[in-house]
Amino acid sequence: MAVIGIGAENSNDEVTQYQMGRYVSSNEAVWRIFSFPIHERHPSVVHLAVHLENGQRVYFTAQNAVQRAAQPPSTTLTSFFETCQNDDFAQTLLYSEMPKYYTWNQSSRRFIRRKQGKPVPGYTDVYSTDAIGRIYSVHPSNDECFYLRLLLVNVRGPTSFQQLRTVDGELCGSYREACQRLQLLENDAHWDQTLNDAVISSHTHQIRTLFSIIISTCFPSNPIDLWMKYKDYMCDDILYQIRNRMGNPNIQISEEIYNEALISIEDMCLIMSNKLLIQLGLTAPNRPMHDAFNQELHRERLYDLNALKE
């Protein structure tokens, strides 16, 4: 028996081909037969902004530029500070815990207590849900913002940027210093051991390169201590060159030689991370001293040694 079908030439019914050719697994088939929801997000996730003081993103037009500059719109972070100033319960919370008890009103741009959920013991008109707050991640190269985020993860109920970096009643000069005083940073034992191994088997310029890599990309908590411990090992080749140029083997390491090593390290850090040493927690080298030192060295080498011997 022959079956003959008549159809249009070059017909291409993609819908029919998909329905006839697709494979529906047993789990998906049962899910659809019982009409379970296909798409769902639970629990709800609220993304929380993180930025430095006056560092929030502001959108403006030619008409409202002046107004936005004078009064930038609130963010979840600034609203968190404002809520902690006026709400005793908010002062017990971490930044990431706010969405559990408060909703973010996009129009008024402020946190409002939830009116539904599980009552919180000991507080009136406070309800909790299973909502999750997620603070945006910050790359460690953006150091101050990174340490600000670290404080927000650990400090409860801050009322301002200044109060966030206040430790034991003393205002710290930076968020990094506040993290150090709160012992939120790991110690530098690993980097100490790394440099200690390097001084045994590496040349001086290799030690400087390793040190530059560590402070540029690994962000040790106290780079000054590492520098003070290993600075002599990073200056040996500079001292050797100066002794040869001056013809004086009795020259000892001085502040000028340390400064030369710091300049060399800073030059490498600029190439690696586009940052100065002062941005990486070290003392900035004295560039004018470097120029004066080279000029003085050049002047010393202009002496007529034969005439002096006579």
Q: Which helix (H) or strand (E) holds 294?
A: helix 287-301
| Helix axis angle, 204-213 to 255-273, nearest 10° | 50
220 plus 156 within the same structural domain: no
122 plus 174 within the same structural domain: yes
Residue 301 confidence (pLDDT) = 59
pLDDT tens sequence across 277-304: 888 888 888 877 655 455 555 555 556 6
A 10 A CB-CB count for 235 gives 23
Residue-range definition of the domain harbouring residue 246: 189-309
A 10 A CB-CB count for 309 gives 6
54 plus 138 within the same structural domain: yes
The answer to whether residue 5 is domain-embedded is no
Residue 188 confidence (pLDDT) = 84
Residue 268 confidence (pLDDT) = 92
165 plus 264 within the same structural domain: no
pTM: predicted TM-score of the whole model, two decimal places? 0.66
Residue 199 confidence (pLDDT) = 93
Which residue, of 128, 155, 181, is where some domain finishes? 181
Residue 133 confidence (pLDDT) = 93
C-alpha dihedral sign at 265, 271, 273, 276: positive
The answer to whether residue 205 is domain-embedded is yes
Which residue, of 181, 203, 238, is where some domain finishes? 181
225 plus 257 within the same structural domain: yes
Residue 278 confidence (pLDDT) = 87
86 plus 120 within the same structural domain: yes
- In three-state secondary structure terms, 74 is coil
Judged against a pLDDT cut of 90, whether residue 156 lies above it is answered with yes
| pLDDT band, very low/low/confident/very high, at 251 (cuts 50, 70, 90) | confident
Task: For residue 118, list its beta bridge partners.
Answer: 128
Residue partners of 64: CB distance under 8 A and separation at least 6: none
Number of domains in the chain: 2
74 plus 171 within the same structural domain: yes
What value does the mean pLDDT of the chain take?
84
The answer to whether residue 1 is domain-embedded is no
| pLDDT band, very low/low/confident/very high, at 62 (cuts 50, 70, 90) | confident
A 10 A CB-CB count for 280 gives 19
172 plus 208 within the same structural domain: no
The answer to whether residue 17 is domain-embedded is no
d(CA 247, CA 241): 10
Residue 196 confidence (pLDDT) = 93
Question: Per-residue DSSP letters for 224-276?
Answer: HHHHHHHTTTTSHHHHHHHHHHHT-TT----HHHHHHHHHHHHHHHHHHHS--
77 plus 160 within the same structural domain: yes
Q: Are 266 and 287 in contact (CB under 8 A)?
A: no
217 plus 280 within the same structural domain: yes
Judged against a pLDDT cut of 60, whether residue 207 lies above it is answered with yes
d(CA 286, CA 292): 10
d(CA 151, CA 162): 12
Residue 23 confidence (pLDDT) = 67
The answer to whether residue 95 is domain-embedded is yes
163 plus 220 within the same structural domain: no
Q: Are 151 and 113 in contact (CB under 8 A)?
A: no
Q: Give the residue with greater pLDDT, 213 vs 188.
A: 213
The answer to whether residue 67 is domain-embedded is yes
Judged against a pLDDT cut of 80, whether residue 30 lies above it is answered with no
Per cent of the chain over pLDDT 70 is 87
222 plus 139 within the same structural domain: no
pLDDT tens sequence across 70-88: 788 889 999 999 999 998 9
The answer to whether residue 151 is domain-embedded is yes
